[in-house]
A and B are shown apart, each in its own frame.
Chain A
């Protein structure tokens, strides 16, 4: 991608009070001509300061007016010691236009801003990207290959140059990109290896466990399904039974009533049985007396009659009569004779009294008879009472019997125990449903638990399989990476070899073009380590002791060769004093070479206003490509840049 400098603006920087350069936006030579001390080197410093915050180029020693330490333009300082120094560079990189702005106030640190043009606006970029942006097209490390002072070109081959040169060339050729890629691939390979080696689990056990669980789970699901069907059937059955129960419920009340009647009847029967036993006991112990009740009453009456008549008990003492008979005395006190009528009467009375005396116990019988009659009456009362109770019970029982018969009639089509059976059945079904539901819940839990475990095993197995696949893929990756690294290394080897060869050939070509005594050298090339090998014709040694001018020619040849490298091809070049320290012949050669030095890029050449350069510029460079550094008439210690 072409890199073009679109504008350079300096404000209060060193000799420049205010300068705004807008070079033509195309590749070509741009020549800046000016006398000593006008600030050619500081113009390059302004670019380096803006981009890298460094001032690598020295002004001439006798430039007493411009102190290296001080950035601020003297005239500006005179106006205000706190004036700000600013350098702005607009650089087009492909389609993008960047603006780099660095500013600094005296005693303060400088700061950089990078803007990107979007439409008509400039937008600030994230500061964290600044370094990447600069490094992506104007790397600081390679600065000396595109912003350089001709006076110092020979220093390209100072001690230890090989390493620096090699690194620079490789950077320009983007070899480091290859190196980074190889390094990155190596790191990836290491990481992949690290993870790949971790996955070595044996999957047999978890797989077996998972299979067992799946089998068990399927069985449980079957069982669950069957249970659900069973529950549905039971619910249907329950519904049927409940419907039946509704039908039979009215009978249930009747059945209960029937049972109640039965128990009441049973109670009455029990009472009756007790009455019967009591009556039987009463009868068997009293029947004979009962049958004879009239006789007892008659006898009692007769005895009372006897009592009332005075026969019982006898009112006359038999001893008294016996004494009268013995004394032959009448009751009235008169003497009587034996065998007389009165005497015989006394004897009869005595016999009667003796009979009555013998019958006296009958009076005790009367008392007993009265008791017996009382007992009979008691019996009869008791009998009557029991009879009445029996009658009462009997009528009660008749009523109960009637009710019982009626209920029985109503229930005649209802099988005994049907209601109870239905209730029992419903209860049994409810119990079964509860039990089955509990079983269902248990199985459901088991299924869920197993499914979770299966899922977790699946995850484990899948992860492990994935790991194993990844492992395999990783191994494959490692192989591919190794292969790629090998290929990249080969490519790298080829590229570095080619670069070194091209560089060697170009150096040889440009050196010979520039050098005045072409045939003195037979070998000019770089070794693997970028050590420059130059052998003079007829010499055995590759070591050549160059003069300062020869070193400068070598340096210019190298810069030209490097500029040819593809990675560096479009980077603008800032070239200060290319002719300094060169012999006249070489100066001519350099000037001859200059137009074709870098045809694909902007080349900014800064040189003294010597005749050779002025002639060269006026003959070979487009007029609008020539810039003149002149004293600023407005600011006596400042330089301005003009185009004639």
Chain B
């Protein structure tokens, strides 16, 4: 497998503003959200998934890139998740997997958009039950 992502960039990035304004408050201790005290990389990936499933992308502004997580430290399942997003969003053209920069850039754009959605949803409704959300989601699928 290393042969597929061997050339992938070292870090995952996010827009500095998104990170500071949306991501960090979500996980900050005492935030009162359901993600309080969670690992930032995990929420970053959730944001990317939310962006992806909602078809929302937001490129990182030039000069505003901020590291979120070292790619190599992600779990195999998380790496698989990234690859699956890349494959599906590239119309199942597998070779994209050999273009690590593209794959992670795609992820960054989804995350940038998704984190904002997630944060707004959470902070707009602090009583939001993630459980109900899941339930709702399950109903949809």
Contact = CB atoms under 8 A, between A and B. Distances in A.
Interface in A175-205: none
Contact of A368 (B80, B94, B138): B80
B68 interface: no
B35 A284 contact: yes
A292 B107 CA distance: 13
A365 B80 contact: yes
B42 A298 contact: no
Contacts of A284: 34-35, 38, 42
Interface residues of B, number: 35
Interface of B: 1, 3-4, 34-35, 38, 42, 45-46, 48-50, 52-53, 76-77, 80-81, 83-85, 87-88, 92, 94-95, 97-98, 130-131, 134-135, 137-138, 141
Interface of B, secondary structure class, is helix
A299 interface: yes
B3 to A, nearest CB: 6
26 contacts: A280-B130, A284-B34, A287-B46, A287-B130, A288-B46, A288-B49, A291-B46, A291-B49, A291-B53, A292-B52, A292-B85, A293-B141, A295-B88, A299-B84, A355-B95, A358-B98, A361-B3, A362-B94, A365-B1, A365-B80, A365-B83, A368-B77, A369-B80, A372-B80, A372-B81, A380-B138
A442 B106 CA distance: 97
A290 interface: yes
Nearest to A286: B134
Interface string A275-293: 0100110011101111111
Contacts of B42: 284-285, 288
A359 B3 CA distance: 9
Nearest to B34: A280
Centre residue among B76, B94, B130 by max chain A CB count within 10 A? B94
Given A284-B42, A292-B85, A298-B88, 17 more contacts: A276-B131, A280-B34, A285-B42, A287-B130, A288-B42, A288-B49, A289-B81, A291-B46, A295-B84, A296-B84, A358-B4, A359-B97, A365-B80, A368-B76, A369-B84, A380-B138, A387-B135
Nearest to B47: A288
A634 interface: no
Nearest to B87: A299
A383 interface: yes
Nearest to B141: A294
Contacts of A364: 1
A302 interface: yes
A295 B88 CA distance: 7
Contacts of A276: 131
Contacts of B138: 380
Given A276-B131, A372-B80, A302 B87 contact: yes
Q: Which 5 A-B pairs have the closest CB atoms?
A: A288-B46, A361-B1, A288-B49, A299-B84, A291-B49
A283 to B, nearest CB: 5
Contacts of B53: 291-292, 295
B34 A358 contact: no
Interface string A363-374: 011001100100
A134 B66 CA distance: 161
A288 B80 contact: no
B45 A288 contact: yes
Contacts of A283: 34, 130-131, 134
Nearest to B98: A358
Contacts of B38: 284
A289 B53 CA distance: 11
A12 to B, nearest CB: 154
Contacts of A387: 131, 135
